[in-house]
Structure 1
Amino acid sequence: MLIDPWLWIALFILIAYTIEAITGFGSIVIALSLGALLLPIPDLMHVLVPLNICMSGFLAWRHRRHIHAPTLLRLILPLMLAGTLLGYVLRPWLGDNLLMLMFGLLVLWFAARELWRLARNHLSVRHPGWLSRGLTLGAGLTHGLFASGGPLLVYALAGTTLDKSQLRATLLTVWFTLNASLTALFLFDGHLLPNLPRIASLLPLLVIGVLLGEFLHHRLNEQRFRQLVYSLLVVTGGLLVVKAGL
């Protein structure tokens, strides 16, 4: 490449956090799916995960009064933490190409499903308890592998009785807890400290992305913008699948 790939990653991070401030979802999924076209997924996770705990921690604390503790402590965290640990252990054994293929398929499924839901104005139906628990464990596994448990966890909680504020605050607490746990593991395995200067240099982009997203939030048609973002993720997921197969 003609320039340092991390300059592109910095741009992707700015885009991802701007989109999250506009729509409320997906900063790591977006940054990782774009970044994985250039660099191995583990290298990206060692930077993106610690970076994310700054925003998720701040927002979880800000909205702490809306956290639904029973759902968080009895359902989500036990299964998600177990799945995340399993994913962390499995990741080095899978290899970069298989990780890219699996992540590309996850992004492709998630984005295509959301586009379908937007097109049909589809309302989520609550899953049986056993299926919600299985999907939650799977969400933890994908979080350990790609720090991207959101697609499966949101699907697992489909039709939940939580209101929008409770769901958002509870999920923010999940991401803070899991990403803080992964960051501690990165510290233990020696991958955090060498990346601290890069993480610190990228922190201002989070602030810029949030401010830019807040500015754009009321100036864009959110549904059309979501369609654009999901379409981008469909293309990106497809490219990751193709690249993994080459």
Structure 2
Amino acid sequence: MDFWDEGLFLLVLFLANTIQAVTGFAGTLLAMAPSILLLGPDQAKVILNIMAFLSSLFIVSSSLAYVAWRQLLRIVLYMAVGMIAGIYLYQRLPLSFLLPFYGFFVLAVALKGLCTDKEINLSPGLSRFILLGAGIMHGLFVSGGALLVIYAVAAFKDKHVFRATIASVWVVLNVPLMFHDYQQGFYDNQTLLLTGLSLLPLILATYAGTRIHDKINQRIFMKLSYVLLLLSGMLLLF
């Protein structure tokens, strides 16, 4: 990885985590595709997982009163089961299969978000299926937020509750992923150095996104997020 790759990665990290600070999700999903191309999948997963944990921890610490605790427990339990399956698949399926699969997944979520404004109502069975799927995607690419947001839009009508509860999910679930990555030997010197360099854009992005959160029309911002997702998915496929 050269100087330009590092610089582009830090720029991607800043832009994606600004969105993460505004919405409580989508930061890793937006950053993962270009980061995989710049760093490779293992290093991208490690660094973005740590950054998502830190960003979410800040959101939760500043909006703890808005966390829907019973919903948080339900989400974490179902997603944890899915994460076990996702980690298993990541270790055993070839990258040539996983990356196009991930690209199609991102494109599908982006197109759905861009093409509909309908209120989402989910049956209990479909809710469980979506949460398990979100866990699988989080175990694969630290990117379960795309599916989780489908559940969250139906469950949370207040944007503050939405943001605080979704961020709480990443605080809880990213810890076992960090431990797993450490066991796999992914925390080498180069990764730790780039993680340290990533802290400054993360701090700036979290500050900017938090300021934007209370001022911006969230519907417009979510549409912009989906446009960026569309571009990320296309990068993986083409």
Q: TM-score range by the shorter chain?
A: 0.7 to 0.9
Cα shift at 1:224 = 4.3
Aligned ranges for residues 106-121 of structure 1 at < 5 Å?
106-117=105-116, 121=117
TM (norm. structure 2) is: 0.88
Contact 1:133 1:156 in 2 (8 A): no
- Measured after TM superposition, the shift of residue 221 of structure 1 is 6.0
Correspondence for 1:136: 131
Once the two structures are TM-superposed, the CA of residue 218 in structure 1 deviates from its matched residue by 7.2
The 2-side partners of 1:223 and 1:161 are apart by 14
**Are the structure 2 counterparts of residues 220 and 152 from structure 1 closer, same or farther at C-alpha, using a change threshold of 3 Å?**
closer
Q: How much does 1:189 deviate?
A: 1.9
Structure 1: where are the runs of 5+ without partners? none
Cα drift, residue 31 of structure 1: 1.0
2:88 pairs with 1:93: no
Q: In the TM superposition, what are the counterparts of 1:147-226 in structure 2 within 5 Å?
A: 147-160=142-155, 163-194=158-189, 195-214=191-210, 223-226=219-222
CA deviation after TM superposition for structure 1 residue 151, in Å: 1.1
Return 5+ residue gaps in structure 2 as ranges: none
TM-score (norm 1): 0.85
Task: Indicate conservation of the 8 Å contact 2:17/2:55, yes or no.
Answer: no
The 3 A distance-change label for structure 1 pair 129 and 14 is same
Deviations 1:152-183 (CA, angstroms, capped at 9, x unpaired) = 11213442266433332221111111111101
Contact 2:20 2:55 in 1 (8 A): no
1:227 and 1:128 map into 2 onto residues whose CA distance is 25
RMSD of aligned alpha carbons: 2.4
Matched, 1:11 2:7: no
